[in-house]
Amino acid sequence: MSGVVCAWLRNDLRLYDSPVLHRAVQLSKERGLPTLPVYVLDPRHFQRTKHGSLKTGAVRALFLLQSVRCLKRQLRKLGSDLLIAVGRPEEVLPPLLGNGSVLLTQEEVTFEELRVDGELQQALVNQSVQWQYCWGSTLYHKEDLPFRADLKDAPDVFTLFKNKVEPELAASANEVPATFQGEKKLQSDMNVRPCLPEPEAGSLPLPPLLGKELFEFEPSWQDLPFQEEVAAPTEHQGAAMRFEGGEEAGLARLQHYLFDTDLIRGYFEVRNGMLGPDYSTKLAPWLALGCVSPRKVYEQVREYEKARVANKSTYWVLFELMWRDFYKFFAAKHGNAIFKLHGLTGKERAWRPDSGEFFRLWTDGLTGYPLIDANMRELKATGFMSNRGRQNVASFLALDMKLDWRRGADWFESLLVDHDVASNWGNWVHAAGLTTGRINHFNVIKQSKSYDKEGMYLKHWLPELQNVPSSLIHEPWTMSDEERERFGAGEYPAPCVDPTTFREDANKGQGKGPPKVKGPPWTKGEKASTG
Ligand SMILES: Cc1cc2nc3c(=O)[nH]c(=O)nc-3n(C[C@H](O)[C@H](O)[C@H](O)COP(=O)(O)OP(=O)(O)OC[C@H]3O[C@@H](n4cnc5c(N)ncnc54)[C@H](O)[C@@H]3O)c2cc1C
């Protein structure tokens, strides 16, 4: 086997603004080596986790499959191809890399990814293969951050992080910079590096001696290395939207949200919605798998601002991308702490012991709290949930049900079509109040009334509450027996956590610890555990 420039693609399944492919083109020219783009379907990603979930659930698996197939099609159009293999990278890749090869891959920061890198490096130890990382998953390049290389001085609070990385736009906490007030044109920039061009046709030549049959494999659902029978997901009629994997569909959504519909113009006002495709960008799944880069989103938002309008909403989409960066760098800084029961604090807290029944109320949307149940049923049926929903269900699980928050994060990891390790586990450890930041303990009844006043979202997902008037739908336990019968709500469950803990005065403001919780009958007599 002769030397190649191997582009081992992982969460960067795109052509445009791809540091790995860009570098592959450069190195191929410089060293006169052919290129070998590869994607590896690792069976470990399709196993059950220690909490019992499929690590990659069906919805995300399908999105991944579509994304990989799309990239293969795109590379073929450039006269190249994508070698898709099933197996462990540390077993699949070494035989493909002759002496003098270079292995390029996007740098990841979390435990499992780093462990695989370590194992692959170990497997390559007797081969003369050069390993090069490319940074490519964030809006800001790691090297451009105003922090030490090990990020030890990066703030753990988002606003402080944002104000440091975005100094020229920094206004006071969570406010929109003056340049964006009103409908003014943009006046400032954010030090984001420009996007890299798409590789040109012919710039990623394949190794001439590598058997053509290696490239014939185009996986279908049956080829995904699940260790059990898993049915391909079917489309749900009530889903917020249909997510199709791949760069083409991701760029189409971006175009739709910006230039085709001007939806971005009103993002700020509707971003806390929960129903339908339009209240937010819905770009997260493509960002998570790197089908679209955050810099591409930034580039297009800037184009939109120049052509149409720069306002609070256009700024706020970029602001959200900074949240995404924040969690990536937070994960890089804190390593395994984001996966630990006690999080960053290391402090013990009483977690409710549970053999599974109480947790199932949450996963199945049977807690008796309509806001929680509607969101959890949406997640289970479609693989998506709004940010408002995620904040509430996470707070409810960790601070009201007092269940080990990692089971919630694990459930999200399995089901979310947009699962991203840093964003998911980072948001969860924050929601559980286990970082140095303040605790956002949500009053889920108040949230339900504020963000779904008429109960439209609740009715969309909870057939039992279809006919309940909006004055009662947020607190169905307040209905009399006669009302429950009249409105056909008899099947809706009783609340699993005492509703009096959500009295307005019991839970005012943020930053308070979790309220006392009355357990359901089956937890009586069990002692709280501190994990
Ligand atoms: C408990 C919990 C778990 C989450 N898990 C994930 C996850 O696995 N993957 C994921 O991409 N997001 C996660 N989020 C963040 C956020 O809820 C989603 O990014 C968002 O709902 C996706 O919808 P959207 O693309 O329409 O977002 P928009 O509102 O349109 O925001 C634009 C983009 O900004 C980024 N973003 C927005 N809010 C956040 C945030 N709080 N943290 C990180 N990035 C953000 C996302 O990339 C998003 O696509 C989680 C939030 C919570 C509270």
* Same-domain check for residues 171 and 290: yes
97 shares a domain with 23 = yes
Clarify whether residues 148 and 125 are in a common domain. Answer: no
Residue 213 lies in a domain: no
Q: Are residues 373 and 444 in the same domain?
A: yes
Residues with CB under 6 Å of ligand 1 are 271, 280-284, 287-288, 317, 320-321, 323-324, 327, 386-387, 390-391, 394, 412, 416, 418-420, 423-424, 427-428, 431
Q: How many CA atoms lie within 13 A of 71 on its CB side?
A: 31
Q: Is residue 486 in a domain?
A: yes
Q: How far is CA 446 from CA 43, 217, 456, 458, in A?
A: 43, 53, 16, 14
pLDDT value at residue 346: 83
**In ligand 1, which atom is closest to the CA atom of 284?**
49
Q: How far is the CA of 296 from the centre of ligand 1 (A)?
A: 17
Quote the number of domains for the chain.
Answer: 3
Domain that holds residue 462: 357-523
Q: CA 185 to CA 310: how far, in whole Å?
A: 5
Centre of ligand 1 from the C-alpha of residue 64, in Å: 18
Residue 504: what pLDDT? 60
- Tens digit of pLDDT for each residue in 243-272? 999 999 999 999 999 999 999 999 999 999
User: Does residue 310 lie in a domain region?
Assistant: yes
Ligand 1 centroid to 253 CA: how many Å? 16
SS3 172: coil
pLDDT above 70 covers a percentage of the chain that reads 90
> Cα(158) to centroid of ligand 1, in Å?
14
Do 364 and 322 lie in one domain? The reply is: no
126 shares its domain with 158: no
Q: Is residue 369 part of a domain?
A: yes
Q: Is residue 40 domain-shared with residue 93, that is, in the same domain? A: yes
Q: Does residue 389 lie within any of the structural domains?
A: yes
Atom of ligand 1 nearest to the CA of 390: 53
pTM of the entire predicted model: 0.93
The encoded tokens of residue 260 equal 């085709």
What pLDDT was estimated at residue 89?
98
Whether residue 309 lies inside any domain: the answer is yes
Residue 10 Cα, ligand 1 centroid: separation in angstroms? 20
**Binding-site residues for FAD:** 267, 320-327, 418-420
Q: Which of 136, 151, 184 is the C-terminal boundary of a domain? A: 136
Q: Whose CA is nearest to atom 11 of ligand 1?
A: 284
Question: How far does residue 323's CA lie from ligand 1's centre (Å)?
Answer: 8
Same domain flag for 129 and 182? no
Q: Choose which residue among 387, 411, 412 to substitute to test ligand 1 binding: the one with the highest number of ligand atoms within 8 A of its C-beta.
A: 387
Asked if residue 412 and residue 291 are part of one domain, the reply reads no
String of DSSP letters for 208-248? TTS-GGGGT----GGGS--SS--PPP---TT-S-----SHH
Q: What is the pLDDT of residues 305-332, one digit of tens each?
A: 999 999 999 999 999 999 999 999 999 9
Summarize pLDDT for 334-348 with one digit per residue, the tens.
999 999 999 999 888
Cβ contacts of 355 within 8 Å, gap of 6 or more = none
Domain containing residue 480: CATH number = 1.10.579.10
Query: Do 272 and 146 reside in the same domain of the chain?
Result: yes
Burial grade of 366 (CB within 10 A; 0-12, 13-18, 19 or more): middle
Last residue of one domain, picked from the residues 136, 153, 181: 136
Q: Which atom of ligand 1 is nearest to the CA of 418?
A: 9
Q: What's the length of the chain?
A: 531
DSSP 8-state symbol, 342: T
Closest CA to 489 of 478, 497, 498: 478
**Which of 258, 270, 390 for a ligand 1 pocket mutation test, highest count of atoms within 8 Å of Cβ?**
390
Same domain, 509 and 455: yes
Expressed in angstroms and rounded, the spacing between residue 334 Cα and the centre of ligand 1 is 20
Query: Taking a C-beta distance cutoff of 8 angstroms, is the pair 292, 127 a contact?
Result: no
ipTM greater than cut 0.85: yes
> Which is more confidently placed, 347 or 42?
42
Q: Are residues 296 and 153 in the same domain?
A: yes
In a domain, 198, yes or no: no
Count how many Cα atoms sit within 13 Å of the Cα of residue 5 in the half-sphere of its side chain.
22
| Shortest-distance Cα residue to atom 19 of ligand 1 | 284
Name residue, tokens 């709004």: 386
Residues 6+ apart with CB under 8 A from 30: none
Using CA positions, which residue lies closest to atom 53 of ligand 1? 391
Residue 204 lies in a domain: no
Mean residue pLDDT across the chain: 91
CATH number of the domain residue 307 falls in:
1.25.40.80
